[in-house]
Amino acid sequence: MPKFEYAPAPESRSIVSLRESYGLFINGEFGPSVDGRAFKTISPATEEVLAEVTEAGPADVDRAVTAARKAYEHTWSAMPGRERAKYLFRIARIVQERGRELAVLESLDNGKPIRESRDVDIPLVAAHFFYYAGWADKLEYAGYGPAPRPLGVAGQVIPWNFPLLMLAWKIAPALACGNTVVLKPAETTPLTALAFAEICQQADLPPGVVNIVTGAGETGRALVEHPGIDKVAFTGSTEVGKQIARACAPTRKKVTLELGGKAANVVFEDAPVDQAVEGIVNGIFFNQGHVCCAGSRLLVQESVYDEVLASLRRRLATLRLGDPLDKNTDVGAINSAAQLAKIRELSEVGEAEGAQRWSPPCELPVKGFWFPPTIFTGVSQAHRIAREEIFGPVLSVLTFRTPAEAVEKANNTPYGLSAGVWTEKGSLILWMASRLRAGVVWANTFNKFDPTSPFGGYKESGYGREGGRHGLEAYLDV
Amino acid sequence: MSDMADSDRGGLGGSSPRASTASARIAVRKTYKLYIGGAFPRSESGRSYVVTDQKDRFLANAALASRKDARDAVTAARKAFGGWSAATAYNRGQVLYRVAELLEGRRAQFVAEVRAAEGLGARQGEAVVDAAIDRWVWYAGWADKLAQVRGSANPVAGPYFNFSLPEPTGVVAVIAPQASSLLGFVSVVAPAVVSGNTVVAVASERSPLPAVSLSEVLATSDVPGGVINVLTGRTEEIAPWLASHMDVNAIDLSGATSPLADDLAAAAAENLKRVVKPGDEDWTLAPGLGRMLTYLETKTVWHPASN
């Protein structure tokens, strides 16, 4: 199959003006830390230092929570919903206005292809604020009683895979319901959250309603365990999610957790193969597989195994890996050296346990963190690559004969975030959808997101839902 | 059991001196057992404990459930989950309503048992049992309405049909309230089973007998075996095994007090159980949706709409 040569088509990074260093955003302004220190954030594609960022200490977190409390009591919870709504609409509009800049910044700091940050992440950020803005003055119609109350101050900790989008998922519903927030972005991707702080300033959002404290795990712990917060919202690993659930056990804090996954993507023999292969590729190689709901376990019906695998291999050979800012890039950089090490380790385990590893011919850049799209065949349910979340561009392929066996294998995991089904038979789709123990089921599609669509897991993928009317519950006293 | 309606006599049938006169009939006492998987076993440990009324008079020996009993109950509940969660909502509603029907028929017995257990007067006892019966009726009606109230069609920005539905979370462990032996018990069990969850309930430690008698009602109504399992014994002994059990998906800590409740909530974090923390609840008040919602997952399904 001929591979078309593409000329480089890099998106200009001149649209982004980075500061040399960033303070913490507390009570409406950027300021220095009182007990923290500085760390650097790099571009994972080149290892170039992008900026110096502040690691907030416990005293900084305390200041942020105090500012949020004051804003909650004196300003935000007392403000009519229709006025809160207008601030959120303003934010949505500014995100749209600065969309290209935010997309470039996201791709720089995270390593994801500009095509994805420009066409998926940032538009969804704006859409999310737009959606929840409209709820702010309609909460009495949401089904949570005649006058649902906010919780107070929310402590929010988000991951590095969709930095600004996860911020939007956290902040938009929290503010719409009348809460104020202290948010900690991931240590490897703080820059769009800091740009968002500027957006709050441009929107004239009252000081203290949104506070951004950058830092790593210790900063997150200080925030989650702070006695002054009423609500904890976390997206990240199941391991940390369990620690948070434990830490909050003796408190009255309301907790929502959106954690890991090991989604099955089930392809039946009557599925249109080309569409299914596109869905498989989108399911696991979108965002380098740094997706909690990634379709990382492919379950193919035995009768079409050879056909699907041949087509999948062909398709993988056409994926372009490289410069995240190039508009033709399909697969960007792995977000960090640590994540790359984890992906490598589990892939080596996959080989050691007897699965067959395959990647298309793929030249990796010399600098930065890269991993080629990878398929493992001959995988059994007992293999670690079939059980553990790899969070990278690695697909484990298993087979099944009957729908019942597909359900059995798909559900054979402590996770339950998402699943995919590919078949032309409508009754089979609904039969599968009702039996898959997962919070999102994509039928003949995969990895679709929308602010109106509830998202969240069963079992050890966490609890609570984000998005839609259901997403309000996490930020209301119900 | 009918002699218990006369609360002045205290204790269970046959224990008062008057009953031993030659002409009086000796009452047939009931053995209070566990209720696991639709059967009534004694504790596998062979243990029992003395249950008394509020004036410390002997009522009965109840089974003192062990860790093994708790694990057997979870196994039974898991086994029953597939069928119960797949039953139609209409069917589940009728089954819960059937429980209310049978309770109504045994109202006098339950009034007597609750009065003996909780030391209530006649009118209080009747009010509690009536409220417990009405609670089954209230929850029965929810079975086929939850999906409409809690589900949604989602207007996503693209050519997709997208809807969300509530589904049961799985096996729910319930540490039933200590003071309210029947109404409290019903108030924490019904909201879990109505949506298709199955339950392992630990009855009030001090006053377990009404819950055991309720399990006899459940066995003769149409509730499939294993859907509701009832354990009696020491809360402090049984609850930690349920809180840490990896095949339990949610836990209601109503009957646990601090610091035990905090320890149980921390143990529940190990597999991220959905947790209802103990609160200062008045079981006579209208329950609201909170408990039912805790045991519901939301599943969202996407499908392209194209030709």
CA dist., res. B196 & res. A83, Å (int): 42
pLDDT value for A2? 56
10 Å Cβ neighbour count for A424? Answer: 12
A254, A415, A450: best to mutate for the B interface, most B CBs within 10 A: A450
Q: Do residues A155 and A223 make contact, with C-beta atoms less than 8 angstroms apart?
A: yes
Q: Are A204 and A268 found together in one domain? A: no
A58 and A187 housed in the same domain: yes
pLDDT of residue B1: 39
Report the catalytic residues of A: 258, 292
Whether A103 and A146 share a structural domain? yes
Question: What is the average per-residue pLDDT within B27-35?
Answer: 95
Whether residue B268 lies inside any domain: the answer is yes
pLDDT at A478: 87
Q: Is residue B23 part of a domain?
A: no
Question: What H or E segment, with its residue span, contains residue A341?
Answer: helix A337-352
Neighbour tally for B157: CB within 10 Å: 13
Q: Counting every residue, how long is chain A?
A: 478
Question: What is the domain-level CATH number for residue B296?
Answer: 3.40.605.10
Using only the alpha carbons of chain B, give its radius of gyration.
21
Cα A93–A122–A188 angle (5° rounding)? 125
A9 phi and psi angles, rounded to 5 deg: -135, 65
A250 and A349 share one domain? no
pLDDT at B22 (0 to 100) = 64
| Residue A312, in any domain of the structure | yes
Contact B298 A439 (CB under 8 A): yes
Residue A367 has pLDDT above 50, yes or no: yes
B58-63 and B152-153 beta bridge pairing: unpaired
Q: A448 in a domain, yes or no?
A: no
Say whether both A128 and A273 belong to one domain: no
Residue A188 and residue A268 in one domain? no
Q: Output the 3-class SS for A371-408.
A: CCCEEEECCCCCCHHHHCCCCCCEEEEEEECCHHHHHH
How high is the mean pLDDT of chain A?
97
Alpha-carbon distance of B163 to B146, in angstroms, equals 14
Confidence grade of residue B23 (pLDDT, cut at 50, 70, 90): confident
**Distance in angstroms (rounded) separating the CA atoms of residues B113 and B106:** 11
Q: What is the CATH number of the domain that holds A417?
A: 3.40.309.10
pLDDT of residue A36: 87
ipTM above 0.90, yes or no: yes
Across the interface, do B302 and A448 touch by the CB < 8 Å criterion?
yes
Number of domains in chain B: 1
Q: Quickly state the pLDDT bin for A65 (edges 50, 70, 90).
A: very high
Residue B252 lies in a domain: yes
In the predicted structure, residue B5 carries a pLDDT above the cut 90? no
Decide the pairing of beta strands B296-304 and A440-443: parallel
Q: For residues A301 and A214, state if they share a domain.
A: no
On the question of pLDDT at B15 being above 70, the answer is no
pLDDT tens for B194-230 read 999 999 999 999 999 999 999 999 999 999 999 999 9
Q: Has residue A6 been placed in a domain?
A: no
Mean pLDDT of B78-101: 98
Q: Which residue has the tokens 């320890």?
A: B263
Measure B218 CA to nearest chain A CA, in Å: 27
pLDDT of residue A6: 84
State the average pLDDT over residues A233-261.
Answer: 97
Instruction: State whether the Cα torsion A179-A184-A190-A194 is positive or negative.
Output: positive
Listed in order, strand segments (DSSP E) in A417-475 are 418-422, 440-443, 462-463
On chain B, the residues whose CB falls within 8 A of the CB of A240 are: none
Domain that holds residue B285: 2-15+33-304
The Cα–Cα gap between A238 and A460 comes to 7
Q: Are residues A232 and A274 in the same domain?
A: no
To the nearest whole number, what is the mean pLDDT of chain B? 93
Q: What pLDDT shows up at residue B4?
A: 43
The nearest alpha carbon in chain B to A478 belongs to B290
- Look at residue A112 in the predicted model and tell me its pLDDT: 98
| Ranges of H-type helices in chain B | 67-86, 89-105, 107-118, 122-142, 146-150, 183-193, 209-220, 235-243, 260-268, 290-294
| Minimum distance, in Å, between the CA of residue B286 and any CA atom of chain A | 14
Q: Band the pLDDT of B267: cuts 50, 70, 90.
A: very high
CATH number at residue A102: 3.40.605.10
* Nearest CA among A370, A230, A452 for reference residue B163: A452
What six digits make up the tokens of A397? 């392929």
Inform me whether the pLDDT recorded for B154 exceeds 50: yes
Residue identified by tokens 């929810």 is B142
Contact A453 B156 (CB under 8 A): yes
Query: What are B231-255's pLDDT values in tens digits?
Result: 999 999 999 999 999 999 999 999 9
Band of residue B307 on the pLDDT scale cut at 50, 70, 90: confident
Task: Classify residue B28: in a domain, yes or no.
Answer: no
Residue B22 lies in a domain: no
Q: In sequence order, what are the residues at sequence separation of 6 or more whose Cβ sits closer than 8 angstroms to the Cβ of residue A414?
A: A459, A460, B271
Task: Tell whether A97 and A153 lie within a shared domain.
Answer: yes
Does this model's pTM top 0.80? My answer is yes
Answer yes or no: do A94 and A142 share one domain: yes
* A143: closest chain B residue by CA: B149
**Domain span including residue A207:** 13-259+458-475
Q: Do A104 and A120 have their domain in common?
A: yes
Three-state DSSP at A418 gives strand
- Asked if the structure places residue B26 within a domain, the reply is no
pLDDT tens digit string along A291-304?
Answer: 999 999 999 999 99
Question: What pLDDT score was predicted for residue A5?
Answer: 78
Measured between alpha carbons, how far is A194 from A172 in angstroms, rounded to an integer? Answer: 16
Number of domains, chain A? 2
Whether the predicted pLDDT of B11 surpasses 80: no
Residue B130 located in a structural domain: yes
Are B272 and A246 in contact (CB < 8 Å)? Answer: no
The single-letter code of the amino acid at B43 is: S
Q: Looking at the structure, do residues A206 and A64 belong to the same domain, yes or no?
A: yes
Pick A433's closest partner by Cβ from B293, B298, B301. Answer: B301
Per-residue b/e over B231-260, b at no fewer than 16 CB within 10 Å?
Answer: bbbebeebbbbbbbbeebbbbbbbbbeeeb
Q: Which residue of B300, B303, B306, B307 is the best one to mutate when testing the A interface, meaning the one whose CB has the most A CBs within 10 A? A: B300
By the 10 Å C-beta count (0-12 exposed, 13-18 middle, 19+ buried), A456 is classed as buried
Residue A109 placed within a domain: yes
Residue B9 in this model has a pLDDT that exceeds 70: no
Q: How far apart (Å, rounded) are the C-alpha atoms in residues A260 and A292?
A: 5
Asked if pLDDT for residue A226 goes beyond 60, the answer is: yes
Q: How far is CA A301 from the centre of its chain?
A: 30
